[in-house]
Protein backbone atom coordinates (compact mmCIF):
# COMPACT_ATOMS: atom_id res chain seq x y z
CA UNK A 1 0.00 0.00 0.00
CA UNK A 2 1.56 3.26 -1.13
CA UNK A 3 -0.14 5.81 1.12
CA UNK A 4 -2.83 6.39 3.72
CA UNK A 5 -5.15 8.17 1.31
CA UNK A 6 -6.21 4.92 -0.33
CA UNK A 7 -7.64 3.78 3.03
CA UNK A 8 -10.42 6.36 2.84
CA UNK A 9 -9.80 7.79 6.30
CA UNK A 10 -11.50 10.99 7.44
CA UNK A 11 -9.94 14.33 6.60
CA UNK A 12 -8.91 15.15 10.18
CA UNK A 13 -6.89 11.92 10.36
CA UNK A 14 -5.22 12.44 7.01
CA UNK A 15 -4.17 15.92 8.17
CA UNK A 16 -2.75 14.53 11.42
CA UNK A 17 -0.93 11.69 9.64
CA UNK A 18 0.63 14.21 7.34
CA UNK A 19 1.64 16.38 10.28
CA UNK A 20 3.31 13.56 12.22
CA UNK A 21 5.07 12.38 9.08
CA UNK A 22 3.39 9.00 8.57
CA UNK A 23 3.38 8.79 4.78
CA UNK A 24 2.93 5.11 4.10
CA UNK A 25 1.27 2.45 6.28
CA UNK A 26 3.63 -0.09 7.83
CA UNK A 27 2.82 -3.74 6.93
CA UNK A 28 0.70 -4.30 10.04
CA UNK A 29 -1.14 -1.04 9.41
CA UNK A 30 -1.77 -1.95 5.77
CA UNK A 31 -3.26 -5.27 6.86
CA UNK A 32 -5.12 -4.26 10.00
CA UNK A 33 -6.64 -0.88 9.16
CA UNK A 34 -9.00 -2.06 6.34
CA UNK A 35 -10.18 -5.01 8.45
CA UNK A 36 -10.86 -2.85 11.49
CA UNK A 37 -12.62 -0.20 9.38
CA UNK A 38 -14.73 -3.06 8.06
CA UNK A 39 -15.87 -3.88 11.60
CA UNK A 40 -13.98 -7.16 11.99
CA UNK A 41 -12.65 -8.49 15.29
CA UNK A 42 -8.93 -9.00 15.09
CA UNK A 43 -6.29 -11.23 16.60
CA UNK A 44 -3.00 -9.65 15.66
CA UNK A 45 0.54 -10.75 16.29
CA UNK A 46 3.02 -7.93 16.09
CA UNK A 47 5.15 -6.20 18.60
CA UNK A 48 8.17 -4.06 18.86
CA UNK A 49 8.43 -1.19 16.46
CA UNK A 50 6.14 -2.44 13.73
CA UNK A 51 3.69 0.47 13.98
CA UNK A 52 1.17 -1.59 15.91
CA UNK A 53 -0.18 1.39 17.86
CA UNK A 54 -1.17 3.14 14.64
CA UNK A 55 -2.61 -0.13 13.32
CA UNK A 56 -5.36 -0.04 15.94
CA UNK A 57 -5.43 3.66 16.85
CA UNK A 58 -5.90 5.00 13.30
CA UNK A 59 -9.06 3.01 12.40
CA UNK A 60 -10.55 3.26 15.91
CA UNK A 61 -10.11 7.04 15.88
CA UNK A 62 -11.61 7.18 12.40
CA UNK A 63 -14.68 5.33 13.65
CA UNK A 64 -15.00 7.51 16.73
CA UNK A 65 -14.57 10.79 14.86
CA UNK A 66 -17.03 9.91 12.13
CA UNK A 67 -19.83 8.91 14.49
CA UNK A 68 -21.54 10.66 17.37
CA UNK A 69 -21.91 7.46 19.31
CA UNK A 70 -19.47 5.00 20.80
CA UNK A 71 -16.33 5.02 22.88
CA UNK A 72 -13.12 3.04 22.76
CA UNK A 73 -11.23 1.39 25.59
CA UNK A 74 -7.56 0.55 25.08
CA UNK A 75 -5.98 -1.62 27.80
CA UNK A 76 -2.21 -1.94 28.14
CA UNK A 77 -0.09 -3.92 30.61
CA UNK A 78 2.13 -1.07 31.77
CA UNK A 79 1.72 2.56 32.65
CA UNK A 80 4.52 3.58 30.32
CA UNK A 81 2.86 1.88 27.39
CA UNK A 82 -0.48 3.52 28.22
CA UNK A 83 1.21 6.92 28.21
CA UNK A 84 2.86 6.20 24.92
CA UNK A 85 -0.45 5.11 23.40
CA UNK A 86 -2.25 8.23 24.58
CA UNK A 87 0.46 10.39 23.06
CA UNK A 88 -0.04 8.68 19.69
CA UNK A 89 -3.84 8.99 20.06
CA UNK A 90 -3.58 12.70 20.89
CA UNK A 91 -1.25 13.28 17.93
CA UNK A 92 -3.71 11.51 15.66
CA UNK A 93 -6.71 13.42 17.01
CA UNK A 94 -4.90 16.72 16.53
CA UNK A 95 -5.07 19.71 18.87
CA UNK A 96 -8.51 21.07 17.98
CA UNK A 97 -10.51 17.86 17.85
CA UNK A 98 -13.63 17.82 19.99
CA UNK A 99 -13.08 14.10 20.72
CA UNK A 100 -11.20 13.78 23.99
CA UNK A 101 -8.94 10.99 25.21
CA UNK A 102 -7.88 10.21 28.76
CA UNK A 103 -5.34 8.01 30.46
CA UNK A 104 -6.22 5.97 33.57
CA UNK A 105 -3.13 4.53 35.17
CA UNK A 106 -2.04 3.77 38.70
CA UNK A 107 0.46 6.01 40.44
CA UNK A 108 -1.21 9.17 39.20
CA UNK A 109 -3.50 11.56 41.05
CA UNK A 110 -7.04 10.30 40.98
CA UNK A 111 -8.47 13.83 41.05
CA UNK A 112 -6.89 14.66 37.72
CA UNK A 113 -8.37 11.49 36.22
CA UNK A 114 -11.83 12.27 37.64
CA UNK A 115 -11.66 15.71 36.02
CA UNK A 116 -10.70 14.16 32.70
CA UNK A 117 -13.56 11.69 32.97
CA UNK A 118 -16.05 14.51 33.60
CA UNK A 119 -15.19 15.83 30.14
CA UNK A 120 -16.69 12.63 28.68
CA UNK A 121 -13.65 11.29 26.84
CA UNK A 122 -14.51 8.90 24.03
CA UNK A 123 -11.12 7.22 23.97
CA UNK A 124 -9.96 5.76 27.26
CA UNK A 125 -6.54 4.25 27.64
CA UNK A 126 -5.36 2.61 30.82
CA UNK A 127 -3.95 -0.24 32.83
CA UNK A 128 -6.33 -2.88 34.22
CA UNK A 129 -6.06 -2.06 37.93
CA UNK A 130 -6.93 1.61 37.64
CA UNK A 131 -9.65 1.01 35.05
CA UNK A 132 -11.29 -1.41 37.49
CA UNK A 133 -10.96 1.11 40.31
CA UNK A 134 -12.91 3.66 38.30
CA UNK A 135 -15.49 1.10 37.26
CA UNK A 136 -16.11 0.12 40.86
CA UNK A 137 -16.32 3.72 41.96
CA UNK A 138 -18.69 4.32 39.06
CA UNK A 139 -16.58 7.23 37.88
CA UNK A 140 -16.19 5.38 34.58
CA UNK A 141 -18.97 3.90 32.50
CA UNK A 142 -18.20 1.58 29.62
CA UNK A 143 -21.81 1.13 28.51
CA UNK A 144 -21.03 2.85 25.24
CA UNK A 145 -17.60 1.34 24.77
CA UNK A 146 -18.17 -0.38 21.46
CA UNK A 147 -14.46 -0.75 20.70
CA UNK A 148 -12.03 -2.65 22.87
CA UNK A 149 -8.30 -2.97 22.25
CA UNK A 150 -6.25 -5.37 24.35
CA UNK A 151 -2.64 -4.45 23.69
CA UNK A 152 0.23 -6.81 24.55
CA UNK A 153 -2.32 -9.34 25.78
CA UNK A 154 0.25 -12.06 26.43
CA UNK A 155 2.10 -9.71 28.73
CA UNK A 156 -1.11 -8.82 30.54
CA UNK A 157 -1.83 -12.49 31.17
CA UNK A 158 1.76 -13.11 32.25
CA UNK A 159 1.39 -10.28 34.74
CA UNK A 160 -1.73 -11.92 36.15
CA UNK A 161 -4.24 -9.45 34.71
CA UNK A 162 -6.52 -12.14 33.26
CA UNK A 163 -9.08 -11.78 36.04
CA UNK A 164 -9.05 -8.03 35.80
CA UNK A 165 -9.66 -8.18 32.05
CA UNK A 166 -12.62 -10.49 32.68
CA UNK A 167 -13.91 -8.00 35.20
CA UNK A 168 -13.61 -5.02 32.83
CA UNK A 169 -15.42 -6.93 30.11
CA UNK A 170 -18.45 -7.38 32.37
CA UNK A 171 -18.97 -3.62 32.17
CA UNK A 172 -18.82 -3.53 28.37
CA UNK A 173 -21.60 -4.06 25.85
CA UNK A 174 -21.82 -7.49 24.20
CA UNK A 175 -22.09 -5.80 20.82
CA UNK A 176 -18.64 -4.42 20.30
CA UNK A 177 -15.58 -4.75 18.13
CA UNK A 178 -12.62 -6.34 19.91
CA UNK A 179 -9.01 -6.13 18.78
CA UNK A 180 -6.51 -8.29 20.55
CA UNK A 181 -2.78 -7.93 20.01
CA UNK A 182 -0.26 -10.35 21.36
CA UNK A 183 3.36 -11.05 20.55
CA UNK A 184 2.72 -14.78 20.78
CA UNK A 185 -0.29 -17.05 20.81
CA UNK A 186 0.08 -19.47 23.70
CA UNK A 187 -2.91 -21.55 24.76
CA UNK A 188 -4.24 -19.00 27.25
CA UNK A 189 -4.38 -16.31 24.55
CA UNK A 190 -6.28 -18.61 22.23
CA UNK A 191 -8.71 -19.41 25.06
CA UNK A 192 -9.20 -15.72 25.78
CA UNK A 193 -9.67 -14.92 22.11
CA UNK A 194 -12.35 -17.62 21.79
CA UNK A 195 -14.11 -16.11 24.77
CA UNK A 196 -14.05 -12.51 23.64
CA UNK A 197 -13.60 -12.31 19.87
CA UNK A 198 -16.22 -13.04 17.25
CA UNK A 199 -14.88 -14.74 14.10
CA UNK A 200 -11.65 -12.80 14.33
CA UNK A 201 -9.37 -12.15 11.40
CA UNK A 202 -5.84 -13.19 12.21
CA UNK A 203 -2.79 -11.14 11.24
CA UNK A 204 0.81 -12.10 11.90
CA UNK A 205 3.78 -9.89 11.26
CA UNK A 206 7.07 -11.68 11.28
CA UNK A 207 8.66 -9.64 14.03
CA UNK A 208 11.44 -12.07 14.80
CA UNK A 209 12.77 -12.07 11.26
CA UNK A 210 12.56 -8.30 11.09
CA UNK A 211 14.56 -8.08 14.27
CA UNK A 212 17.13 -10.52 13.00
CA UNK A 213 17.52 -8.47 9.84
CA UNK A 214 17.77 -4.99 11.36
CA UNK A 215 19.63 -5.71 14.56
CA UNK A 216 23.28 -6.60 14.85
CA UNK A 217 23.66 -9.16 17.61
CA UNK A 218 26.73 -9.63 19.76
CA UNK A 219 27.28 -12.14 22.56
CA UNK A 220 29.97 -11.53 25.16
CA UNK A 221 30.93 -14.30 27.55
CA UNK A 222 31.72 -12.70 30.83
CA UNK A 223 32.04 -13.64 34.48
CA UNK A 224 29.57 -12.00 36.82
CA UNK A 225 32.43 -10.15 38.53
CA UNK A 226 33.43 -8.59 35.21
CA UNK A 227 30.03 -7.53 33.93
CA UNK A 228 30.37 -3.95 35.10
CA UNK A 229 33.80 -3.51 33.55
CA UNK A 230 32.50 -4.99 30.32
CA UNK A 231 29.57 -2.58 30.43
CA UNK A 232 31.93 0.36 30.74
CA UNK A 233 34.01 -0.96 27.82
CA UNK A 234 30.91 -1.31 25.68
CA UNK A 235 29.62 2.15 26.56
CA UNK A 236 33.00 3.65 25.69
CA UNK A 237 33.15 2.08 22.27
CA UNK A 238 29.58 2.92 21.31
CA UNK A 239 27.81 6.17 20.50
CA UNK A 240 24.25 7.06 21.25
CA UNK A 241 21.55 6.09 23.69
CA UNK A 242 21.78 2.73 25.44
CA UNK A 243 19.17 0.72 27.29
CA UNK A 244 20.62 -1.78 29.74
CA UNK A 245 18.47 -4.57 31.14
CA UNK A 246 19.32 -5.87 34.59
CA UNK A 247 17.53 -8.54 36.53
CA UNK A 248 16.45 -6.83 39.74
CA UNK A 249 15.27 -3.42 40.84
CA UNK A 250 18.21 -3.31 43.21
CA UNK A 251 20.73 -4.06 40.48
CA UNK A 252 19.33 -1.33 38.22
CA UNK A 253 19.87 1.18 41.03
CA UNK A 254 23.33 -0.14 41.78
CA UNK A 255 24.52 -0.06 38.16
CA UNK A 256 23.08 3.44 37.64
CA UNK A 257 24.78 4.67 40.81
CA UNK A 258 28.12 3.26 39.69
CA UNK A 259 27.80 4.68 36.19
CA UNK A 260 27.04 8.12 37.62
CA UNK A 261 30.07 7.75 39.87
CA UNK A 262 32.08 6.98 36.78
CA UNK A 263 30.90 10.12 35.02
CA UNK A 264 28.26 8.62 32.73
CA UNK A 265 24.81 10.18 32.47
CA UNK A 266 22.66 7.29 33.59
CA UNK A 267 19.53 6.52 35.55
CA UNK A 268 17.55 3.51 36.73
CA UNK A 269 13.96 2.64 35.88
CA UNK A 270 12.07 0.09 37.90
CA UNK A 271 8.66 -0.57 39.41
CA UNK A 272 9.68 0.63 42.88
CA UNK A 273 9.87 4.24 41.73
CA UNK A 274 7.00 6.67 42.08
CA UNK A 275 5.13 7.23 38.83
CA UNK A 276 6.22 10.88 38.67
CA UNK A 277 9.86 9.76 38.96
CA UNK A 278 9.35 7.09 36.28
CA UNK A 279 7.85 9.72 33.99
CA UNK A 280 10.73 12.11 34.61
CA UNK A 281 13.36 9.45 33.93
CA UNK A 282 11.63 8.38 30.70
CA UNK A 283 11.34 12.04 29.64
CA UNK A 284 15.04 12.61 30.30
CA UNK A 285 15.92 9.50 28.32
CA UNK A 286 13.70 10.51 25.40
CA UNK A 287 15.17 14.00 25.43
CA UNK A 288 18.73 12.67 25.50
CA UNK A 289 19.41 14.19 28.91
CA UNK A 290 20.58 10.79 30.07
CA UNK A 291 22.49 8.49 27.78
CA UNK A 292 22.15 5.18 29.58
CA UNK A 293 18.94 3.84 31.10
CA UNK A 294 19.22 0.75 33.28
CA UNK A 295 15.88 -0.98 33.60
CA UNK A 296 14.15 -4.14 34.69
CA UNK A 297 11.81 -5.83 32.23
CA UNK A 298 9.31 -3.07 32.99
CA UNK A 299 10.90 -1.41 29.95
CA UNK A 300 10.93 -4.47 27.74
CA UNK A 301 7.52 -4.02 26.15
CA UNK A 302 6.30 -1.40 23.78
CA UNK A 303 8.57 1.46 24.77
CA UNK A 304 9.34 3.59 21.79
CA UNK A 305 12.45 5.78 21.96
CA UNK A 306 13.30 6.21 18.28
CA UNK A 307 16.95 7.27 18.82
CA UNK A 308 17.77 4.23 20.98
CA UNK A 309 20.76 2.58 19.31
CA UNK A 310 21.86 -0.21 21.63
CA UNK A 311 20.22 -2.66 23.98
CA UNK A 312 22.60 -4.34 26.41
CA UNK A 313 21.39 -7.42 28.23
CA UNK A 314 23.51 -7.08 31.35
CA UNK A 315 21.51 -9.99 32.74
CA UNK A 316 19.63 -12.31 30.43
CA UNK A 317 15.87 -12.46 30.71
CA UNK A 318 14.24 -15.36 32.50
CA UNK A 319 11.84 -15.91 29.65
CA UNK A 320 13.35 -16.29 26.19
CA UNK A 321 10.52 -14.35 24.49
CA UNK A 322 11.30 -11.33 26.64
CA UNK A 323 14.60 -11.14 24.79
CA UNK A 324 12.69 -10.37 21.59
CA UNK A 325 10.80 -7.61 23.36
CA UNK A 326 13.92 -6.20 24.96
CA UNK A 327 15.92 -5.94 21.76
CA UNK A 328 12.87 -4.59 19.96
CA UNK A 329 13.39 -1.33 21.85
CA UNK A 330 16.03 -0.58 19.23
CA UNK A 331 15.73 -0.69 15.44
CA UNK A 332 12.35 1.03 15.59
CA UNK A 333 10.35 1.65 12.44
CA UNK A 334 12.83 0.03 10.07
CA UNK A 335 15.99 1.60 11.51
CA UNK A 336 19.01 -0.46 12.50
CA UNK A 337 20.20 -1.18 16.02
CA UNK A 338 22.53 -3.33 18.07
CA UNK A 339 21.82 -5.90 20.75
CA UNK A 340 24.53 -7.07 23.09
CA UNK A 341 24.22 -9.98 25.49
CA UNK A 342 26.43 -10.55 28.48
CA UNK A 343 26.37 -14.27 29.15
CA UNK A 344 27.89 -15.44 32.41
CA UNK A 345 28.63 -19.12 33.04
CA UNK A 346 25.48 -19.53 35.12
CA UNK A 347 23.32 -18.05 32.37
CA UNK A 348 24.20 -20.64 29.75
CA UNK A 349 20.81 -22.32 29.90
CA UNK A 350 19.06 -18.97 29.49
CA UNK A 351 21.15 -18.15 26.46
CA UNK A 352 20.42 -21.56 24.99
CA UNK A 353 16.66 -20.89 25.25
CA UNK A 354 17.10 -17.52 23.54
CA UNK A 355 19.30 -18.98 20.83
CA UNK A 356 16.78 -21.74 20.20
CA UNK A 357 14.02 -19.18 19.89
CA UNK A 358 15.96 -16.87 17.60
CA UNK A 359 17.53 -19.58 15.44
CA UNK A 360 15.23 -22.56 15.60
CA UNK A 361 16.92 -24.31 12.68
CA UNK A 362 20.50 -23.86 13.81
CA UNK A 363 22.67 -26.15 15.89
CA UNK A 364 22.74 -24.92 19.47
CA UNK A 365 25.77 -25.04 21.66
CA UNK A 366 26.59 -23.35 24.82
CA UNK A 367 30.03 -23.83 26.23
CA UNK A 368 30.44 -21.71 29.33
CA UNK A 369 33.94 -20.44 29.78
CA UNK A 370 35.76 -22.55 32.28
CA UNK A 371 37.97 -19.88 33.66
CA UNK A 372 38.30 -16.17 33.33
CA UNK A 373 41.69 -14.59 33.36
CA UNK A 374 40.13 -11.17 33.81
CA UNK A 375 40.65 -9.59 37.14
CA UNK A 376 37.60 -8.24 38.96
CA UNK A 377 36.98 -4.63 38.08
CA UNK A 378 37.88 -2.20 40.81
CA UNK A 379 35.98 0.90 39.78
CA UNK A 380 37.05 3.81 37.67
CA UNK A 381 38.26 7.20 38.67
CA UNK A 382 36.13 10.08 37.61
CA UNK A 383 37.76 12.37 35.11
CA UNK A 384 36.87 15.19 37.49
CA UNK A 385 39.30 13.71 39.95
CA UNK A 386 36.73 12.31 42.37
CA UNK A 387 37.93 9.04 43.69
CA UNK A 388 36.12 5.87 43.08
CA UNK A 389 35.19 3.79 46.05
CA UNK A 390 37.62 1.13 45.00
CA UNK A 391 35.07 -1.59 45.51
CA UNK A 392 34.42 -4.11 42.90
CA UNK A 393 31.00 -4.02 41.39
CA UNK A 394 29.01 -6.76 40.05
CA UNK A 395 26.54 -9.34 41.06
CA UNK A 396 27.96 -11.86 43.41
CA UNK A 397 29.21 -14.84 41.47
CA UNK A 398 26.59 -17.48 41.63
CA UNK A 399 26.96 -21.17 41.56
CA UNK A 400 26.93 -22.62 38.14
CA UNK A 401 23.65 -24.01 37.07
CA UNK A 402 23.80 -27.66 36.35
CA UNK A 403 23.08 -26.73 32.77
CA UNK A 404 20.26 -27.86 30.59
CA UNK A 405 17.03 -26.93 32.19
CA UNK A 406 16.50 -23.94 34.37
CA UNK A 407 16.98 -24.30 38.08
CA UNK A 408 13.51 -22.99 38.67
CA UNK A 409 14.64 -20.06 40.79
CA UNK A 410 13.31 -16.58 40.39
CA UNK A 411 15.35 -14.32 38.18
CA UNK A 412 14.75 -11.38 40.42
CA UNK A 413 11.18 -10.25 40.25
CA UNK A 414 9.10 -12.86 41.92
CA UNK A 415 6.00 -13.89 40.05
CA UNK A 416 2.80 -13.77 41.99
CA UNK A 417 0.40 -16.59 42.35
CA UNK A 418 -2.65 -16.30 40.24
CA UNK A 419 -5.98 -15.99 41.90
CA UNK A 420 -8.32 -18.67 40.83
CA UNK A 421 -11.27 -16.40 40.81
CA UNK A 422 -12.88 -13.32 42.15
CA UNK A 423 -13.06 -9.83 40.90
CA UNK A 424 -11.55 -6.60 41.99
CA UNK A 425 -12.26 -5.74 45.57
CA UNK A 426 -13.74 -2.32 45.15
CA UNK A 427 -11.33 -0.72 47.59
CA UNK A 428 -10.01 2.79 47.43
CA UNK A 429 -7.91 4.32 44.68
CA UNK A 430 -4.68 3.56 46.50
CA UNK A 431 -1.52 3.04 44.54
CA UNK A 432 -0.20 0.31 46.71
CA UNK A 433 -0.25 -3.07 45.10
CA UNK A 434 -2.67 -5.47 46.64
CA UNK A 435 -1.65 -9.04 46.87
CA UNK A 436 -3.54 -11.49 44.77
CA UNK A 437 -5.82 -13.95 46.34
CA UNK A 438 -4.68 -17.49 46.10
CA UNK A 439 -8.18 -18.53 45.34
CA UNK A 440 -11.66 -18.44 46.71
CA UNK A 441 -13.99 -15.56 46.36
CA UNK A 442 -11.96 -12.69 47.70
CA UNK A 443 -11.49 -9.90 45.24
CA UNK A 444 -8.11 -8.29 44.74
CA UNK A 445 -6.51 -5.86 42.37
CA UNK A 446 -3.00 -6.07 40.96
CA UNK A 447 -1.21 -2.94 39.86
CA UNK A 448 0.66 -2.66 36.65
CA UNK A 449 3.71 -1.31 38.42
CA UNK A 450 4.07 -4.31 40.59
CA UNK A 451 2.65 -7.23 38.75
CA UNK A 452 5.40 -9.57 37.78
CA UNK A 453 5.75 -11.71 34.73
CA UNK A 454 5.04 -15.35 35.17
CA UNK A 455 8.03 -17.62 34.85
CA UNK A 456 8.21 -19.78 31.82
CA UNK A 457 10.99 -22.15 31.16
CA UNK A 458 12.14 -23.72 27.99
CA UNK A 459 13.37 -27.20 28.38
CA UNK A 460 16.81 -27.51 26.92
CA UNK A 461 16.76 -29.59 23.82
CA UNK A 462 19.12 -32.49 23.30
CA UNK A 463 22.66 -31.32 22.76
CA UNK A 464 23.61 -31.41 19.13
CA UNK A 465 26.93 -32.91 18.34
CA UNK A 466 29.41 -30.73 16.57
Q: Which residues of the shown chain bind ligand AMP in the complex (CB under 6 A)?
A: 22, 24-26, 29, 49-54, 304, 306, 332-333
Whose Cβ is closer to ligand AMP: residue 223's or residue 304's?
A: 304
Are the beta carbons of 363 and 464 closer than 8 angstroms?
A: yes
Are the beta carbons of 105 and 448 closer than 8 angstroms?
A: yes
Instruction: Name the minimum Å distance from CB 238 to ligand AMP.
Output: 21
- Euclidean distance between CA atoms 13 and 4, whole angstroms: 10
Instruction: Name the minimum Å distance from CB 233 to ligand AMP.
Output: 30
Whose Cβ is closer to ligand AMP: residue 13's or residue 343's?
A: 13
Whose Cβ is closer to ligand AMP: residue 89's or residue 135's?
A: 89
- Euclidean distance between CA atoms 434 and 415, whole angstroms: 14
Instruction: Name the minimum Å distance from CB 184 to ligand AMP.
Output: 16
Whose Cβ is closer to ligand AMP: residue 127's or residue 344's?
A: 127
Whose Cβ is closer to ligand AMP: residue 79's or residue 332's?
A: 332
Whose Cβ is closer to ligand AMP: residue 210's or residue 437's?
A: 210
Instruction: Decide: residue 427, CB within 10 A, 0-12 exposed, 13-18 middle, 19+ buried.
Output: middle
DSSP state letters, 12-80: HHHHHHHHHT--S--HHHHHHHHHHHTT--EEEE--TTSSHHHHHHHHHHHHHHT-SS-EEEEE-SSHH
Whose Cβ is closer to ligand AMP: residue 47's or residue 437's?
A: 47
Are the beta carbons of 418 and 162 closer than 8 angstroms?
A: yes
Instruction: Name the minimum Å distance from CB 443 to ligand AMP.
Output: 34
Instruction: Decide: residue 17, CB within 10 A, 0-12 exposed, 13-18 middle, 19+ buried.
Output: buried
Give the burial string for 100-114 (b: 16+ CB within 10 Å, else e).
Answer: ebbbbbbbbebeebe
Are the beta carbons of 64 and 99 closer than 8 angstroms?
A: yes
Whose Cβ is closer to ligand AMP: residue 211's or residue 316's?
A: 211
Whose Cβ is closer to ligand AMP: residue 54's or residue 200's?
A: 54
- Euclidean distance between CA atoms 77 and 153, whole angstroms: 8
Instruction: Name the minimum Å distance from CB 302 to ligand AMP.
Output: 6
For residue 425, what are the CA distances in angstroms to 11, 97, 129, 276, 441? 44, 36, 11, 26, 10
Give the burial string for 145-179 (b: 16+ CB within 10 Å, else e).
Answer: bbbbbbbbbbbbbbbbbbbbbebbbebbeeebbbb
> Which among 309, 290, 327, 314 has a CA at the least distance from the CA of 228?
314
Instruction: Name the minimum Å distance from CB 210 to ligand AMP.
Output: 11
Instruction: Name the minimum Å distance from CB 352 to ligand AMP.
Output: 29
> Which among 107, 90, 448 has a CA at the least distance from the CA of 301?
448
- Euclidean distance between CA atoms 46 and 114, whole angstroms: 33
Instruction: Decide: residue 340, CB within 10 A, 0-12 exposed, 13-18 middle, 19+ buried.
Output: buried
Whole-angstrom Cα Rg for the chain: 23
Instruction: Name the minimum Å distance from CB 151 to ligand AMP.
Output: 10
> Which among 141, 228, 224, 168 has a CA at the least distance from the CA of 398?
224
Whose Cβ is closer to ligand AMP: residue 309's or residue 454's?
A: 309
Instruction: Name the minimum Å distance from CB 304 to ligand AMP.
Output: 4
Instruction: Name the minimum Å distance from CB 308 to ligand AMP.
Output: 10
Whose Cβ is closer to ligand AMP: residue 4's or residue 351's?
A: 4
Instruction: Name the minimum Å distance from CB 81 to ligand AMP.
Output: 9
- Euclidean distance between CA atoms 220 and 239, whole angstroms: 18
Whose Cβ is closer to ligand AMP: residue 135's or residue 324's?
A: 324
Instruction: Name the minimum Å distance from CB 269 to ligand AMP.
Output: 18
Amino acid sequence: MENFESLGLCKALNTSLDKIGFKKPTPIQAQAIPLILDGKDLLGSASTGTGKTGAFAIPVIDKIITSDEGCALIVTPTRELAKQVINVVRDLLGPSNSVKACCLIGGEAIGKQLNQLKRKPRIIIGTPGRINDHLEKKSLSLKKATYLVLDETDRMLDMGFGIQIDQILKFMPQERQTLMFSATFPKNIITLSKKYLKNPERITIDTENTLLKNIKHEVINVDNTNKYKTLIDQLEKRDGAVLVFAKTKHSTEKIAKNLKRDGIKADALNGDLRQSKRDKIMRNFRENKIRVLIATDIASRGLDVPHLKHVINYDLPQVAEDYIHRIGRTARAGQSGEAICFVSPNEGHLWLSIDMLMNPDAKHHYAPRKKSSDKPYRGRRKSSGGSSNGKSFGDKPKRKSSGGSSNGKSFGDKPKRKSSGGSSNGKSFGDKPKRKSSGGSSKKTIRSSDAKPKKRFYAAKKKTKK
